[in-house]
Copies of this chain bind each other. A is one copy, B any other.
Amino acid sequence: MAESWVIMVTAQTPTNIAVIKYWGKRDEKLILPVNDSISVTLDPVHLCTTTTVAVSPSFALFRIGCGLMGRYQFSCVFPFFSREIRARACDVEDKERGIKISKKDWEKLHVHIASYNNFPTAAGLASSAAGFACLVFALAKLMNAKEDNSELSAIARQGSGSACRSLFGGFVKWKMGKVEDGSDSLAVQVVDEKHWDDLVIIIAVVSSRQKETSSTTGMRETVETSLLLQHRAKEIVPKRIIQMEEAIKNRDFASFAHLTCADSNQFHAVCLDTCPPIFYMNDTSHRIISCVEKWNRSVGTPQVAYTFDAGPNAVLIAHNRKAAAQLLQKLLFYFPPNSDTELNSYVLGDKSILKDAGIEDLKDVEALPPPPEIKDAPRYKGDVSYFICTRPGRGPVLLSDESQALLSPETGLPK
- Give residues in A with beta carbon < 8 Å to B: 209-210, 227-228, 231-232, 235-236, 258, 261-262, 265-266, 268-270, 272-277, 279, 282-283, 286, 289, 293, 297, 378
Q: Which residues of B contact A232 (CB under 8 A)?
A: 227-228
A261 to B269 CA separation, bound complex (whole angstroms): 15
**Chain B nearest Cβ from A202, distance in angstroms:** 19
Across-interface contacts of A282 in B (CB, < 8 A): 283, 286
Query: 10 tightest CB-CB pairs across the interface, nearest first?
Result: A269-B269, A269-B273, A276-B293, A269-B272, A231-B231, A265-B277, A283-B283, A279-B286, A227-B236, A266-B273
In the bound complex, how far is the Cα of B276 from the Cα of A293, in angstroms? 7
When C-beta atoms are compared, the residue in chain B nearest to A236 turns out to be: B227
Measured CA separation A249–B266 after assembly (Å): 35
What is the CB-to-nearest-CB distance from A368 to chain B, in angstroms, rounded to a whole number?
A: 20
Residue with the greatest number of chain B CB neighbours at <10 A, chosen from A210, A232, A266, A286? A266
Residue from A210, A272, A279 whose CB has the most chain B CB atoms within 10 Å = A272
Q: How far is the CB of A365 from chain B (nearest CB, A)?
A: 22
Distance in angstroms from A288 CB to nearest chain B CB is 12
Contacts A/B (CB < 8 Å), 23 sampled: A210-B286, A227-B232, A227-B235, A227-B236, A228-B228, A228-B231, A228-B236, A228-B266, A228-B269, A231-B231, A231-B235, A258-B275, A261-B275, A261-B277, A262-B273, A266-B272, A269-B273, A272-B272, A276-B289, A276-B297, A282-B283, A282-B286, A283-B283
Contact A275 B265 (CB under 8 A): yes
Cβ of A235: which chain B residues have Cβ within 8 Å of it? Answer: 227, 231
The smallest C-beta distance from A151 to any residue of chain B, in angstroms, reads 34
**Which residues of chain B have C-beta atoms less than 8 A from A272's C-beta?**
265-266, 268-269, 272
- A293 CB contacts on chain B under 8 angstroms: 276-277
Cβ–Cβ < 8 Å partners of A279 in chain B? 286, 289
B contact residues around A286 at 8 Å (CB):
210, 279, 282
A270 to B236, CA, bound (A): 14
Q: Nearest chain-B residue to A208 (Cβ)?
A: B283
A231 to B272, CA, bound (A): 16
In the complex, which of the residues A209, A210, A231, A378 has the most CB atoms of chain B within 10 Å of its own CB atom?
Answer: A231
Chain B: minimal CB distance from A5 (Å)? 51
CB distance from A49 to the nearest CB of B (A): 31
Report the minimum CB–CB distance from A164 to chain B (whole Å).
26
- CA of A345 to CA of B378 in the docked complex: distance in angstroms? 29
Whole-angstrom distance between the alpha carbons of A238 and B265 in the complex? Answer: 25
A275→B235 CA distance, assembly (Å): 18
B265 and A273 contacting across the interface, CB-CB below 8 Å: yes
Q: Which residues of B contact A265 (CB under 8 A)?
A: 272-275, 277
Closest residue of chain B to A231 (Cβ to Cβ) is B231
CB closest chain-B residue, reference A380: B209
In whole Å, how far is A96's beta carbon from the nearest beta carbon of chain B? 58
The CA of A258 and the CA of B378, in the complex, are separated in Å by: 38
CB distance from A370 to the nearest CB of B (A): 15
A378 touching B276 by the CB < 8 A rule?
no
Q: In the complex, how many angstroms separate the beta carbon of A335 from the nearest chain B beta carbon?
A: 15
A254 to B: closest C-beta gap in Å: 13
- CA–CA, A270 to B282, complex, Å? 17
Which residues of B have CB within 8 Å of A268? 272
Residues in B with CB closer than 8 Å to A209 are 378
- Identity of the chain B residue whose Cβ is nearest the Cβ of A279 in the assembled complex: B286
Q: A228-B228, A277-B293, A282-B286 are in contact. List 20 more A-B contacts (CB 8 A).
A: A227-B235, A231-B235, A258-B275, A261-B275, A262-B273, A262-B275, A265-B273, A265-B275, A266-B272, A266-B273, A268-B272, A269-B270, A269-B272, A272-B272, A276-B289, A276-B297, A277-B289, A279-B286, A279-B289, A282-B283
